[in-house]
């Protein structure tokens, strides 16, 4: 076999396909949404998704992003499509017909909107979501690791201070990572 040839599975599919799929899955777990960006929103609800957020999406940018109302704050939750699939798998841990599963699925998926990213890196925020978070002419994109949030900038400033005070008052810190070695 030459070095540029790929071994094949018994079904005739190249290993490279499986490796690429694995890479895309791993990429969605490694890329993080970081920092805060405030971008202008036009009359049609168009706003530029910050370039570092588009980069964090990697290959998943072709699927756009998924937005839904936060159940804890007056903001929108933003996810890659791959992370939404992870959330769905977590919901599968509940009994399919339980009230808890139904409540969570309704809250998350019932109002979720898959939003495409155009060639200029913009998204269009749906009018009902703009109204819900009281966005006028600017939106704050807040990186939160594997997810991000979209806020009215003034409301986010208040939330940021509340979060800082809460962390300090509770003495919060990150848990240690336990190695299985």
Across 65-77, average pLDDT: 96
Give yes or no for residue 43 having a pLDDT over 90: yes
Total domains, the chain:
1
User: What is the average pLDDT value for the chain, to the nearest integer?
Assistant: 86
- Residues comprising the chain, all counted: 181
> Is the residue at 19 inside a domain?
no
Q: What is the pLDDT of residue 177?
A: 82
Give yes or no for residue 8 having a pLDDT over 50: no
> Is the residue at 145 inside a domain?
yes
Among the listed residues 57, 49, 66, the one whose alpha carbon sits nearest the alpha carbon of residue 24: 57
User: Given its phi and psi angles, is residue 78 left (phi above 0), alpha (psi -120 to 50 degrees) or beta?
Assistant: beta
Residue 50's domain spans which residues?
30-81+113-161
CATH of the domain at 155: 3.40.1550.20
Q: What is the pLDDT of residue 3?
A: 42
pTM for this prediction: 0.79
Across 39-48, average pLDDT: 97
Per-residue pLDDT band at 7 (split at 50, 70, 90)? very low
Rounded to 10°, the helix 99-108/81-91 angle is 170
> Is the residue at 176 inside a domain?
no
Per-residue pLDDT band at 19 (split at 50, 70, 90)? low
> Is the residue at 138 inside a domain?
yes
- Identify any residues that bridge with 88 across adjacent strands, giving them in sequence order: none
Per-residue pLDDT band at 180 (split at 50, 70, 90)? confident
Each residue's pLDDT tens digit, 76-125: 999 999 999 998 999 899 988 999 999 999 988 998 999 999 999 999 99
Q: What is the pLDDT of residue 179?
A: 75
> Is the residue at 64 inside a domain?
yes
Q: Where are the alpha helices (DSSP H) in 31-152?
A: 51-57, 81-91, 99-108, 127-133
> Is the residue at 94 inside a domain?
no
> Is the residue at 38 inside a domain?
yes
> Is the residue at 96 inside a domain?
no
Per-residue pLDDT band at 21 (split at 50, 70, 90)? low
Each residue's pLDDT tens digit, 117-162: 999 999 999 999 999 999 999 999 999 999 999 999 999 999 999 9
């Amino acid at each position: 076999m030459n070095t540029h040839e790929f071994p094949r599975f018994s079904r005739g599919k190249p290993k490279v396909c499986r490796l690429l799929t694995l890479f895309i899955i791993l990429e969605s777990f490694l890329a993080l949404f970081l920092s805060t960006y405030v971008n202008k929103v036009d009359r049609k609800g168009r706003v530029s998704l910050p370039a570092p957020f588009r980069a964090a999406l990697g290959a998943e940018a072709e699927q756009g992003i998924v937005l839904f109302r936060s159940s804890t704050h007056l903001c929108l939750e933003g996810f890659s499509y791959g992370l939404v699939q992870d959330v769905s798998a977590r919901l599968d841990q509940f009994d399919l017909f339980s009230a808890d599963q139904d409540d969570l699925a309704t809250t998350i998926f019932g109002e979720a909107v898959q939003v495409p990213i155009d060639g200029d890196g913009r998204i269009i925020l749906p009018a009902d979501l703009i109204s819900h978070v009281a966005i006028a002419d600017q939106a704050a994109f807040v990186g939160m690791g594997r997810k991000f949030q979209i806020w009215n900038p003034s409301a986010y400033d208040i939330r940021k201070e509340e979060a800082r005070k809460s962390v300090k008052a509770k003495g919060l810190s990150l848990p240690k990572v336990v190695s299985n070695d």
